Structure 1
């Protein structure tokens, strides 16, 4: 099938490459010429495992092209809307200007039978407005909503083999026909037995933000328990193991530590609260304020722990920060807890050096005043306290015996509770973990 993907950031670039890999002819459109140039050279503008190879294969096949000219989507049967919806400056609400701009450019080009498929995470009610815009411009075209559920670091797998596919459809024959078209697009995934759920437009828009809110709540719950564990001498990791055996709760996302960040969970739960307020249902989501508050408190707690470890003051102390990205296997530093902690410590007088396997370039752009090291050894050299803030495999696998001579003082704070405390203590290190004795 001939497909267009409008917006070739993280979501769009991955989606375009995966659709081409499945045999479709895909044109990706983005307003940033430099991004189009990089993608056209099969060089992703961000790090995602396997994406560079997938882009190269798809472009070599001739099925994938990128352009900055929206007119090049003419002739495509399906148009995926994948533009970003960032948080508005100084507000919780989502910024929809990129969605609206993309739709304004697309609708004059629509033909009868075309299907516009929204994948961007938008406030509920947005799809209905866009559907009316599509209908007014081209009554023979249909808008539906197909939310994405990508995890950074696993985006290709999540696109090709998602755990579910959701169609938000308009009522009547138009919805039935649109679903049949998208079934052709996702034929390979559906043939493998992946669940396909059909809903109305409003429900489809709520699925992604509801899922993210639930995951954020689960993370903040176990971090709230970590605060109690620190007050009582209990171990939050053992607590999570014990309650995670209850299959109504489950062990996933019960990893206490520095909390969540990135470009999705924080801004999605804030936009969800803002939209609930606009709808007069703000009381339904007041608990998300505390979820957000608990999450931000973890960053402050990390700084406090470092201060305790350094005898009450971090002024002039050399601090090594392992990790800059908000999670491993990504170079995304948006709302990164690791960089937030590093910046707070530097503002309070510490001499901070940050390292990361993939995210240093992005981190330097956002935090130019921080010092960075390309190597782990360079960051650790002379450190008086080490903070492990992103659980990259290379940091989890560090040998504490081999590092003792590098640092000025063998002290480590495990911000992700991913290390073996006994191993580090036996190697002579003072070890602290969030929520652990």
Structure 2
């Protein structure tokens, strides 16, 4: 099929490259000409494992190209909207400026029978509104909503071999037409047995934010238990192991630590709460506000632990901050707990040297006042305190005996509970985990 993808940020660039790799003819459109040039040269403007190879393959095949002109979407049968929905300044609500602009820019390129497919995470009710916009403009195009479930670090796999597909479809014959087109787009995944959930607009819009809300609740719950463990002497890691054996609960994402961040989960749960308030059912999601607060308190806890360990002379002490991205296998520093902790300690007057395998450039752009190094050894050398704030394998596999020779004081805060505490203590370290004795 001929497809267009409007918006070539993280979601759009991955989707465009993967759709072309699956055999479709794809044009990716973005108004940022520097981004278009970079992608056209096979260079992704962000780090995602496997994307450079897929991008290069798709470009070389001739099935993928990029443009900054929305008119180049003309002739495509299916048009994906993959622009961002950031948090509004001064509000928890989602900013729909980019989605509305994408639709308005696309309208002149649409033909009767085309299908516009939203992939962006939007407040419930958006699809119905945009469907009316397309109808009132006389495009003759249909609208479907197809939420994305990408995990940074696994986005290629999640696009080519998703764990489920959700179609938000209009009613009646239009829904049947839209579904047939969607089935053609995702023929390979459907043939491989990917579960399909066809539904109405509102349900499709709620799927992504509901999944994120549940995940945020699970992570925040175990961090709340870490707060209890810290005042009772319990071990939250053992607690998670024990309750995780219950099949109704499960062990995944029951890892206490410094909490979640990134460009999706925090802003999505806040926007979900804001939308519930607008609908008059804010009480239904009142618990998400507390989940958000628990998550943010974990950052405060790490800063407090660091200052406690450094003592009164902390302005003359050096901290090695291992990790800047909000999660491993990503260069995303948006709402990153790791970067916030390093920045706050530096603001207190502590000398902070930070390192990360992939996120240095992005961190330097938003927090230029920090000292950065690409060398883990340079970050560690002479440190009075080490903080592991992103669980990259590079940090998890450090040898505590060797590292001890580099630092001034062998004290480590494991803000992700990703290290072997016994091994580090046996090597002479003061090991501090979150929610652990």
**TM-score of the pair, normalised by structure 1:** 0.99
**In the aligned structure 2, how far is the partner of 1:37 from the partner of 1:396?**
37
Structure 1 equivalent of residue 421 of structure 2: 421
**In the aligned structure 1, how far is the partner of 2:279 from the partner of 2:312?**
48
Cα shift readout 1:227-250 (whole Å, capped 9, x = no counterpart): 000101000000000000001111
Q: Equivalences for 1:245-394 in 2 at 5 Å? A: 245-311=245-311, 314-394=314-394
Task: Give the superposition deviation at 1:104.
Answer: 0.5
SS in 2 for 1:117: strand
- Identify the range of structure 1 (133-142 vs 366-375) with the bigger mean alpha-carbon deviation: 133-142
**In the aligned structure 1, how far is the partner of 2:92 from the partner of 2:372?**
31
Contact 1:110 1:138 in 2 (8 A): no
Contact 2:71 2:108 in 1 (8 A): no
Structure 1: unaligned runs, 5 residues or longer: none
Structure 1 equivalent of residue 50 of structure 2: 50
Task: Give the superposition deviation at 1:314.
Answer: 2.6
SS in 1 for 2:316: coil
**What's the Cα RMSD here?**
0.8
Contact 2:110 2:139 in 1 (8 A): no
Cα shift readout 1:129-169 (whole Å, capped 9, x = no counterpart): 10001112235310010000000000000001111000000
Task: Give the superposition deviation at 1:312.
Answer: 5.2
Contact 1:307 1:313 in 2 (8 A): no
**In the aligned structure 1, how far is the partner of 2:89 from the partner of 2:136?**
32
SS in 1 for 2:8: coil
Contact 1:111 1:138 in 2 (8 A): no
Which contiguous aligned blocks of 4+ residues in structure 1 show a shift greater than 3 angstroms? none
Structure 1 equivalent of residue 123 of structure 2: 123
SS in 2 for 1:242: helix
Task: Give the superposition deviation at 1:347.
Answer: 1.1
Structure 1 equivalent of residue 11 of structure 2: 11
**In the aligned structure 2, how far is the partner of 1:314 from the partner of 1:179?**
61
Task: Give the superposition deviation at 1:90.
Answer: 1.4
Structure 2 equivalent of residue 166 of structure 1: 166
**TM-score of the pair, normalised by structure 2:** 0.99
Structure 2 equivalent of residue 208 of structure 1: 208
Q: Are 1:133 and 2:133 matched, yes or no?
A: yes
SS in 2 for 1:47: coil
SS in 2 for 1:79: strand
**In the aligned structure 2, how far is the partner of 1:377 from the partner of 1:148?**
39
Q: How many residues align?
A: 437
**In the aligned structure 2, how far is the partner of 1:348 from the partner of 1:22?**
51
Contact 1:314 1:345 in 2 (8 A): no
SS in 1 for 2:158: helix
Structure 2 equivalent of residue 221 of structure 1: 221
Cα shift readout 1:3-44 (whole Å, capped 9, x = no counterpart): 000000000000000000000000000010000000000000
SS in 2 for 1:319: strand
Structure 2 equivalent of residue 79 of structure 1: 79
Alpha-carbon distance change, 79 to 410 in structure 1, aligned in 2, over 3 angstroms: same
**In the aligned structure 1, how far is the partner of 2:150 from the partner of 2:343?**
29
**In the aligned structure 2, how far is the partner of 1:81 from the partner of 1:313?**
53
Cα shift readout 1:174-208 (whole Å, capped 9, x = no counterpart): 01110010100000000000100011100100100
Alpha-carbon distance change, 346 to 198 in structure 1, aligned in 2, over 3 angstroms: same
**In the aligned structure 1, how far is the partner of 2:11 from the partner of 2:272?**
20
Cα shift readout 1:353-403 (whole Å, capped 9, x = no counterpart): 110000000000010111111110111111000000000001000000111
**In the aligned structure 1, how far is the partner of 2:312 from the partner of 2:187?**
61
Contact 1:257 1:298 in 2 (8 A): yes
**In the aligned structure 1, how far is the partner of 2:417 from the partner of 2:276?**
35
**In the aligned structure 1, how far is the partner of 2:214 from the partner of 2:222?**
13
Contact 2:167 2:199 in 1 (8 A): yes
Structure 1 equivalent of residue 64 of structure 2: 64
Structure 1 equivalent of residue 405 of structure 2: 405
SS in 1 for 2:338: helix
SS in 2 for 1:283: helix
**In the aligned structure 2, how far is the partner of 1:142 from the partner of 1:173?**
11
Task: Give the superposition deviation at 1:285.
Answer: 0.8
**In the aligned structure 2, how far is the partner of 1:90 from the partner of 1:313?**
37
Structure 2 equivalent of residue 29 of structure 1: 29
SS in 1 for 2:314: coil
